[in-house]
Amino acid sequence: MICEIEFREGEKIFSSFPQELQLKVDDYVIFKIKKGEEFGKIIKLFNSGKITTNVFRKASPQDIEKHRRNEDDQFKLYELSREKAKEFGLPIKVATVHIQFDRSVLKIGFLAEKRVDLKLLMKELTKVFKGRIEVHQIGVRDYAKKFCAYGMCGRPICCQAFLSEFEPITLSFIKLQNLACGTPKLTGVCGRLMCCLAYESSFYKEAEKRFPRIGSKVETSKGKATVIGANYLKDLVKIQYEDGRKDKIPLDEFNKQKVSGPSSSHLLEQGELK
């Protein structure tokens, strides 16, 4: 069986487990990772799917109690990290802290504008907490997903709700969808372009292939015109006549007239329809 496990404040991982364990949703489990053991909660079950780890037992009452102690220590580690960073004048913001279930690794994530030497900080932390301490710099998108924030749609932000990996979001996504650059509505709570701009990019890329290129010249029954835009959602081609008048032509009508022969009223001067 395959299960989806939630651990580390909303992070999820897919795991397999032997049938004899008879696990169900909401069960706490112990599973293997590259550097030891972790504690998590089953939130979904599947018959098949991609797996990245393996559950080897259901969590016992002792395991659950140990996890709670780890959570208490995580808060102490977070507070001590912030206190020492301030004391040493380090230009960082402690963002995330996680103590692995078997306590073999303690992870601290921080925000910083540039590289910072944290040897002194780690030395002070190891005096209090046993185990290997790993300190790594994270991005603002990783930081944002740790909070229960809401997007413009009124739903929990995608990175917190279900996204496990981030796709680079660039200005090309905005241009492809004919959106206005610099609009605050396109920025997420992390201050970066919203991840949801990528969800419809494949549709727009395919739609772009069906439309004539911007700047193409056409001959219509109303005169010569230039293609100035397209409405991919309504399948409309936007044109402008030589006298400045603008019009919109349905794409299917545009294409039909283009291929109807030399007498067609909508022909590209050089046959340049994508």
Q: How do residues 138-182 score in pLDDT, each as one tens digit? A: 888 888 777 778 888 888 888 877 776 778 888 888 888 878 777
Rounded CA-CA distance 90/117 in Å is 8
pLDDT at 72 over 70: yes
Rounded CA-CA distance 52/99 in Å is 20
| Domain edges within the chain | 2-59, 64-138, 212-268
> Given pLDDT bands bounded at 50, 70 and 90, which one contains residue 271?
very low
Q: What pLDDT does 10 receive?
A: 64
pLDDT at 196 over 50: yes
Does residue 162 sit in helix, strand or coil? coil
CATH of 212-268, one of 3.90.870.30, 3.40.50.10190, 2.30.30.140, 2.60.40.10: 2.30.30.140
Sign of CA dihedral 91, 96, 97, 98: negative
Domain 64-138 CATH assignment equals 1.20.120: no
Residue 77, exposed/middle/buried by CB under 10 A (0-12, 13-18, 19+)? buried
pTM: 0.64
Rounded CA-CA distance 114/137 in Å is 9
Rounded CA-CA distance 40/47 in Å is 19
Q: What pLDDT does 85 receive?
A: 94
pLDDT at 257 over 70: no
- State the chain's mean pLDDT as an integer: 83
Does residue 132 sit in helix, strand or coil? strand
Q: What pLDDT does 255 receive?
A: 62
